Structure 1
Amino acid sequence: MKGVIHHIEIYVSDLNRSTEFWNWLLTELGYKKFQQWDQGISYKLNESYIVFVQTEDQHLDIPYHRKRTGLNHMAFHVNSREMVDEFTEKLKARNIKILYADKHPYAGGENYYAVFFEDPDRIKVELVSDR
């Protein structure tokens, strides 16, 4: 399949904390744990996978910021607006702050139904309804 993402690798400041966050979210989205080793973990859906790797200590001095060069955010499809609403409630139950709460669920525009939040390193994550 030409052009489909093979994998994305993201370095994280605390692998245990990130694994707790991403394991829950990605499992809910249908991903399966794919690989695990001392310094990383990956999750696979179909032919694509996402890898999280512990940042080496000497590179932890500058924290992630989505306004710098590099990854801004990750957006995932969900099947319905109801799923966006269900995830919103699950995020709140986990004490995960909803971004743009004053505009939720239309923070992306009047015809864009989504929930926005951040992972432990403040990487913005978006779940958007296809319909």
Structure 2
Amino acid sequence: MSRGLIHHNELYVSDLKSSLTFWGWFLEELGYESFQSWDSGHSWKMGGTYIVFVQAEERFMDISYHRCRVGLNHLAFHASSRQHVDDMTRQLEQKGLKILYTDKHPFAGGNDHYAVYFEDPDRIKVELVAP
């Protein structure tokens, strides 16, 4: 039954190419598959859920995003294990991506919350959480 589950998320991004590079490898590592592509966007799908990235229009580019403003704070994904979180953390570091809360990693969310937190090219926080 799909009632109540997220159908899709759509994120407008400042640089579609860098966002697709960032999100493509991450989502595919989690099991998402490329779903749709068009001049100003791309999506990945897993099961009945898909995530869409769209190039923001130039006329809206002067309004900067910050996750602490009203709106989206972060996206959190399930990892398969603590080892999965550790493996993805190494890949993030190898790619030179910014890991958040390094002084508390991997327990930045508390002693019972094993996760890695990082940022996408537009500084949207992403979280990968172990079961």
- TM-score bin (small chain): over 0.9
In the alignment, which residue of structure 1 is the partner of 2:71? 70
Q: Identity of paired residues, percent?
A: 60
Structure 1 unaligned segments of length 5 or more: list them. Answer: none
In the alignment, which residue of structure 1 is the partner of 2:44? 43
Map 1:23-62 onto structure 2 (within 5 A). Answer: 23-62=24-63
In the alignment, which residue of structure 2 is the partner of 1:11? 12
Please tell me the residue identity of whatever aligns with 1:79.
S
Structure 2 unaligned segments of length 5 or more: list them. Answer: none
Deviation per residue, 1:97-130 (Å, 9 max, x gap):
1100000000000110000000000000000001
Q: How many residues align?
A: 130
Give the TM-score taking structure 2 as reference length: 0.98
Distance in structure 2 (CA, Å) of the matches to 1:64 and 1:95: 22
Give the superposed CA RMSD.
Answer: 0.5
Please tell me the residue identity of whatever aligns with 1:21.
F
Map 1:70-89 onto structure 2 (within 5 A). Answer: 70-89=71-90
Task: Return structure 1 stretches of 4+ with deviation > 6 angstroms.
Answer: none
Give the TM-score taking structure 1 as reference length: 0.98
Deviation per residue, 1:81-101 (Å, 9 max, x gap):
000000010000000111000
Distance in structure 2 (CA, Å) of the matches to 1:5 and 1:80: 22
